[in-house]
Structure 1
Amino acid sequence: MAIFPMRQTITVKRPSDELDRWGNPVNDGAEFTLKCRIDEGSTAVKARNNGVVRSEEAVASARILLDRLADVRYTDVISYTNELGETMEKRPKEINVKRHIDGKALLTEVYL
Protein backbone atom coordinates (compact mmCIF):
# COMPACT_ATOMS: atom_id res chain seq x y z
CA MET A 1 0.00 0.00 0.00
CA ALA A 2 1.32 3.41 -0.95
CA ILE A 3 1.93 6.23 1.51
CA PHE A 4 0.11 8.75 -0.72
CA PRO A 5 -3.06 8.16 -2.75
CA MET A 6 -2.01 7.21 -6.28
CA ARG A 7 -4.91 8.39 -8.46
CA GLN A 8 -3.08 9.37 -11.64
CA THR A 9 -1.30 7.19 -14.18
CA ILE A 10 1.73 7.68 -16.37
CA THR A 11 2.70 5.86 -19.53
CA VAL A 12 6.35 4.87 -19.74
CA LYS A 13 7.73 4.32 -23.25
CA ARG A 14 11.03 2.48 -23.22
CA PRO A 15 13.11 2.51 -26.41
CA SER A 16 14.29 -0.75 -27.87
CA ASP A 17 17.75 -2.04 -26.97
CA GLU A 18 18.19 -3.32 -30.52
CA LEU A 19 19.84 -0.66 -32.69
CA ASP A 20 20.47 -0.43 -36.41
CA ARG A 21 23.91 0.38 -37.79
CA TRP A 22 23.27 4.15 -37.37
CA GLY A 23 22.40 3.81 -33.68
CA ASN A 24 18.64 4.29 -34.03
CA PRO A 25 16.15 1.91 -32.31
CA VAL A 26 14.89 -0.81 -34.67
CA ASN A 27 11.39 -1.12 -33.15
CA ASP A 28 9.22 0.86 -30.74
CA GLY A 29 10.25 -1.03 -27.60
CA ALA A 30 8.06 -1.54 -24.53
CA GLU A 31 5.23 0.61 -23.20
CA PHE A 32 3.59 0.22 -19.79
CA THR A 33 1.51 2.23 -17.31
CA LEU A 34 2.12 2.93 -13.62
CA LYS A 35 -0.12 4.40 -10.92
CA CYS A 36 1.36 7.55 -9.40
CA ARG A 37 0.85 10.98 -7.88
CA ILE A 38 1.86 13.98 -9.98
CA ASP A 39 2.58 17.43 -8.53
CA GLU A 40 2.93 20.06 -11.25
CA GLY A 41 4.31 23.55 -10.94
CA SER A 42 6.01 26.38 -12.75
CA THR A 43 8.24 29.31 -11.88
CA ALA A 44 9.00 32.57 -13.66
CA VAL A 45 12.71 33.19 -14.05
CA LYS A 46 13.78 36.75 -14.69
CA ALA A 47 17.04 37.42 -16.48
CA ARG A 48 19.15 40.57 -16.62
CA ASN A 49 17.88 43.77 -18.11
CA ASN A 50 19.75 44.78 -21.25
CA GLY A 51 18.78 48.39 -21.61
CA VAL A 52 15.10 48.41 -22.45
CA VAL A 53 14.73 44.69 -23.18
CA ARG A 54 13.66 42.54 -20.23
CA SER A 55 13.72 38.82 -20.58
CA GLU A 56 11.49 36.49 -18.66
CA GLU A 57 11.20 32.75 -18.90
CA ALA A 58 8.65 30.30 -17.46
CA VAL A 59 10.02 26.94 -16.32
CA ALA A 60 7.50 24.14 -15.85
CA SER A 61 8.26 21.05 -13.81
CA ALA A 62 6.51 17.95 -12.54
CA ARG A 63 7.30 15.69 -9.62
CA ILE A 64 6.01 12.14 -9.96
CA LEU A 65 5.77 9.87 -6.91
CA LEU A 66 5.65 6.14 -7.63
CA ASP A 67 5.07 3.34 -5.13
CA ARG A 68 8.17 1.43 -3.99
CA LEU A 69 11.09 0.92 -6.39
CA ALA A 70 9.76 1.64 -9.88
CA ASP A 71 11.62 0.63 -13.03
CA VAL A 72 12.07 4.08 -14.58
CA ARG A 73 15.21 4.99 -16.54
CA TYR A 74 16.66 8.20 -17.93
CA THR A 75 16.18 6.92 -21.49
CA ASP A 76 12.41 6.44 -20.99
CA VAL A 77 9.82 8.89 -22.26
CA ILE A 78 7.09 9.54 -19.68
CA SER A 79 3.70 10.87 -20.75
CA TYR A 80 0.69 11.86 -18.69
CA THR A 81 -2.50 13.86 -19.11
CA ASN A 82 -3.44 16.40 -16.45
CA GLU A 83 -6.94 17.45 -15.35
CA LEU A 84 -7.09 20.17 -18.01
CA GLY A 85 -6.66 17.59 -20.77
CA GLU A 86 -3.09 18.64 -21.65
CA THR A 87 -0.76 15.77 -22.45
CA MET A 88 2.88 16.16 -21.42
CA GLU A 89 5.65 13.95 -22.75
CA LYS A 90 9.16 14.31 -21.32
CA ARG A 91 12.26 12.43 -20.25
CA PRO A 92 13.23 12.23 -16.56
CA LYS A 93 15.76 14.80 -15.34
CA GLU A 94 16.21 13.33 -11.88
CA ILE A 95 15.27 9.97 -10.30
CA ASN A 96 15.45 9.51 -6.51
CA VAL A 97 14.57 6.50 -4.38
CA LYS A 98 13.30 7.29 -0.88
CA ARG A 99 14.03 4.50 1.59
CA HIS A 100 12.72 3.55 5.03
CA ILE A 101 15.13 3.27 7.95
CA ASP A 102 15.40 -0.50 7.37
CA GLY A 103 16.54 0.06 3.76
CA LYS A 104 13.35 -0.92 1.90
CA ALA A 105 12.30 1.39 -0.91
CA LEU A 106 9.18 3.39 -0.05
CA LEU A 107 8.87 5.76 -3.02
CA THR A 108 10.50 6.53 -6.32
CA GLU A 109 10.55 10.25 -7.04
CA VAL A 110 10.92 11.32 -10.67
CA TYR A 111 11.37 14.94 -11.79
CA LEU A 112 10.47 15.97 -15.34
Structure 2
Amino acid sequence: MAPLLSRVVETPASSPWFLGSPFRVEAVECKKPAAEAALSPAELELSWVVVDPARGRAVNVSSRRAVAVDRHWYTGETLVRFAVVLGGCKFETTVTCSEGAGNISEVSLAVQDAVVLR
Protein backbone atom coordinates (compact mmCIF):
# COMPACT_ATOMS: atom_id res chain seq x y z
CA MET A 1 0.00 0.00 0.00
CA ALA A 2 1.38 3.43 -0.95
CA PRO A 3 1.30 6.27 1.60
CA LEU A 4 -1.16 9.11 0.96
CA LEU A 5 0.68 11.48 3.28
CA SER A 6 4.18 11.33 4.73
CA ARG A 7 5.60 14.19 6.73
CA VAL A 8 7.85 14.97 9.70
CA VAL A 9 6.44 17.56 12.12
CA GLU A 10 8.84 18.97 14.69
CA THR A 11 7.44 20.65 17.81
CA PRO A 12 9.66 22.53 20.30
CA ALA A 13 9.06 21.12 23.79
CA SER A 14 10.14 24.24 25.70
CA SER A 15 7.18 26.50 24.88
CA PRO A 16 4.15 26.97 27.16
CA TRP A 17 1.97 25.91 24.19
CA PHE A 18 3.61 22.46 24.25
CA LEU A 19 2.82 21.97 27.93
CA GLY A 20 -0.83 23.02 27.49
CA SER A 21 -3.69 20.57 27.42
CA PRO A 22 -4.56 18.97 25.11
CA PHE A 23 -1.36 18.76 23.13
CA ARG A 24 -2.17 18.95 19.41
CA VAL A 25 -0.10 18.63 16.22
CA GLU A 26 -1.36 19.62 12.76
CA ALA A 27 0.26 17.48 10.05
CA VAL A 28 -1.21 18.97 6.84
CA GLU A 29 -0.65 22.55 5.75
CA CYS A 30 -3.95 24.22 4.83
CA LYS A 31 -2.44 25.53 1.58
CA LYS A 32 -1.41 22.10 0.31
CA PRO A 33 -4.01 19.33 0.59
CA ALA A 34 -2.65 15.78 0.42
CA ALA A 35 -2.97 13.64 -2.68
CA GLU A 36 -6.28 12.24 -3.85
CA ALA A 37 -7.32 9.20 -1.84
CA ALA A 38 -7.42 6.01 -3.88
CA LEU A 39 -9.56 4.25 -1.29
CA SER A 40 -12.51 5.08 0.89
CA PRO A 41 -11.89 6.88 4.20
CA ALA A 42 -13.03 3.78 6.14
CA GLU A 43 -10.13 1.81 4.58
CA LEU A 44 -7.42 4.22 5.76
CA GLU A 45 -4.71 2.94 8.11
CA LEU A 46 -2.62 5.18 10.33
CA SER A 47 1.11 4.87 11.00
CA TRP A 48 2.35 7.48 13.45
CA VAL A 49 5.54 7.44 15.54
CA VAL A 50 6.23 10.06 18.23
CA VAL A 51 9.96 10.58 18.88
CA ASP A 52 11.76 12.26 21.79
CA PRO A 53 15.23 12.86 20.28
CA ALA A 54 16.63 14.31 23.54
CA ARG A 55 16.00 11.06 25.41
CA GLY A 56 16.35 8.75 22.42
CA ARG A 57 12.85 7.34 22.88
CA ALA A 58 10.02 6.67 20.45
CA VAL A 59 6.47 5.37 20.76
CA ASN A 60 4.44 3.82 17.96
CA VAL A 61 0.84 5.12 18.11
CA SER A 62 -0.28 3.49 14.87
CA SER A 63 -3.78 2.12 14.40
CA ARG A 64 -4.69 -0.41 11.74
CA ARG A 65 -8.38 0.50 11.60
CA ALA A 66 -10.40 3.60 12.34
CA VAL A 67 -12.51 3.58 15.51
CA ALA A 68 -15.10 5.85 13.88
CA VAL A 69 -15.97 7.33 10.50
CA ASP A 70 -18.42 10.25 10.67
CA ARG A 71 -19.62 13.08 8.49
CA HIS A 72 -19.30 16.63 9.86
CA TRP A 73 -22.83 18.00 10.23
CA TYR A 74 -22.06 21.42 8.74
CA THR A 75 -19.20 21.03 6.25
CA GLY A 76 -20.03 17.55 4.95
CA GLU A 77 -16.39 16.51 5.37
CA THR A 78 -15.64 12.93 6.41
CA LEU A 79 -13.89 12.60 9.78
CA VAL A 80 -11.90 9.41 10.28
CA ARG A 81 -10.88 8.89 13.92
CA PHE A 82 -8.09 6.66 15.20
CA ALA A 83 -7.33 6.09 18.89
CA VAL A 84 -4.65 4.31 20.89
CA VAL A 85 -4.29 4.16 24.68
CA LEU A 86 -0.79 3.44 25.99
CA GLY A 87 0.06 3.52 29.69
CA GLY A 88 -3.06 5.54 30.50
CA CYS A 89 -2.21 8.16 27.85
CA LYS A 90 -4.75 8.64 25.02
CA PHE A 91 -3.54 9.38 21.49
CA GLU A 92 -6.39 10.41 19.19
CA THR A 93 -5.84 11.21 15.53
CA THR A 94 -8.46 12.74 13.26
CA VAL A 95 -8.09 12.61 9.47
CA THR A 96 -10.41 15.02 7.64
CA CYS A 97 -11.30 14.20 4.04
CA SER A 98 -12.91 16.94 1.97
CA GLU A 99 -16.38 16.37 0.59
CA GLY A 100 -16.61 15.19 -3.00
CA ALA A 101 -12.98 14.82 -4.11
CA GLY A 102 -11.91 12.77 -1.09
CA ASN A 103 -8.67 14.72 -0.58
CA ILE A 104 -7.10 14.61 2.87
CA SER A 105 -7.40 18.19 4.07
CA GLU A 106 -6.33 17.81 7.72
CA VAL A 107 -4.52 15.35 9.97
CA SER A 108 -4.25 16.15 13.66
CA LEU A 109 -2.95 14.31 16.72
CA ALA A 110 -4.22 15.14 20.21
CA VAL A 111 -2.66 13.63 23.33
CA GLN A 112 -4.41 13.57 26.70
CA ASP A 113 -3.28 12.52 30.17
CA ALA A 114 0.39 12.46 29.20
CA VAL A 115 2.94 13.15 31.90
CA VAL A 116 5.92 15.25 30.85
CA LEU A 117 9.08 14.42 32.81
CA ARG A 118 11.86 16.97 33.01
Alignment TM-score > 0.5, same fold: no
Higher strand fraction (1 or 2): 1
Instruction: Point out the structure with max Rg over C-alpha.
Output: 1
TM-score by length of 2: 0.32
Structure with the bigger percentage of helix: 2
